[in-house]
Amino acid sequence: MTDVTETKQNADASIVCSDLVRIFTAEGVEVQALQGLNLRVRSGELVAIVGASGSGKSTLLGILSGLDKPTAGAASVAGRDLLGLTAKQRVAYRRHTVGFVWQQTSRNLLPYLTARENIALTMSLAGTPGREARSLELLDLLEISHCADRRPGEMSGGEQQRTAIAVGLANDPHVLLADEPTGELDEATSAEVLEAMRGVNRELGVTTLIVTHDPAVSEHVARTVQIRDGRTSTEVLRRTGISESGDEHTVAEEFAVLDRVGRLQLPQEYLTNLRMRDRVRLALESDHVGVWPHEDEGEHDDAR
Ligand SMILES: Nc1ncnc2c1ncn2[C@@H]1O[C@H](COP(=O)(O)OP(=O)(O)OP(=O)(O)O)[C@@H](O)[C@H]1O
């Protein structure tokens, strides 16, 4: 891909991560939490990032939320280069450019303030005008107007998380980042909260990234990106199809992620089933690329 094409694609992107690396050192041991992660999220998209425990999801979110810096690579959100922010710009970035929804209510909401006051406080810290009207508008959008004067302890878990989404949106951010927003909820309430996030994404056009270990989230979003070993590995895209008889149905397709230089990761089961290792044979056809195991097994016999 040429630089010009890449610049054009990035102009339409809210989140761009290029070859992101984050290495932690604990007690002299290095852990590569992100190992060259590439991700591009278009403006207004709703995307879920899923992955097993330890795959690097929280590390990615830490970087995108401006709390942590990568060891190498580049990351930008709404055109702001996250590596080049001064301390002052970082505070402004966290107040205006991104909103957050965390798993624990205690991290999202102050327990002694009502829903309306929690939203108003977030707005006043950022100097955003129109607190009263916006608080009520957001609570209405999230269908929790009845909670306006309730404190978190007087709400259900789902209502608390919907209030947290309202707080995350208080300063009209470009991007809403959610870390396991349904982690403490039962299945039915999780589905309601995810639908609420889908609703605000659609209504307000805010780019939304939901990080979770729960694969069921992919049923609520059009694009699910899987992280494995600190890299994006596969994506599931869902769209509504129409059958010949006119019925609507959801079509989900899984894709392997191709990085900027053409690398892709084959699923482990493909490698095992076809006994692929070390090298494979490739062939360019008119509409696809063929991948075959290298059949000259003799030279590997000694190594087994
Ligand atoms: N501050 C840190 N110091 C050392 N190692 C860390 C630190 N933070 C994360 N790691 C390591 O980096 C890797 C990725 O961790 P991360 O928390 O990003 O994964 P995750 O996908 O969010 O996992 P989970 O779903 O369990 O929250 C793990 O091996 C973890 O032990």
Domains of the chain: 3-256 (3.40.50.300), 268-303 (no CATH)
Pocket test for ligand 1, best of 20, 53, 102, 214 (most atoms within 8 A of CB): 53
Instruction: Report which protein residue has its CA nearest ligand 1's atom 31.
Output: 54
- 100-109, 111-120, 192-201: range with lowest mean pLDDT: 100-109
Atom of ligand 1 nearest to the CA of 22: 12
Look up the pTM and report it.
Answer: 0.86
pLDDT band for position 213 (cuts 50, 70, 90): confident
Atom of ligand 1 nearest to the CA of 213: 25
Q: What is the 3-state secondary structure (H, E, C) of 215-247?
A: HHHHHHCCEEEEEECCEEEEEEEEEEEECCCCC
134 close to ligand 1 (CB < 6 Angstrom): no
Question: Which segment, 110-119, 125-134, 227-236, is predicted with the most confidence on average?
Answer: 110-119
Quick one: tokens of 157?
Answer: 């878990």
Atom of ligand 1 nearest to the CA of 25: 4
- 149: pLDDT strictly greater than 60: yes
* Model pLDDT for residues 250-282, shown as the tens digit of each residue: 888 888 888 878 888 888 889 999 999 889 999
Q: What ipTM did this prediction achieve?
A: 0.95
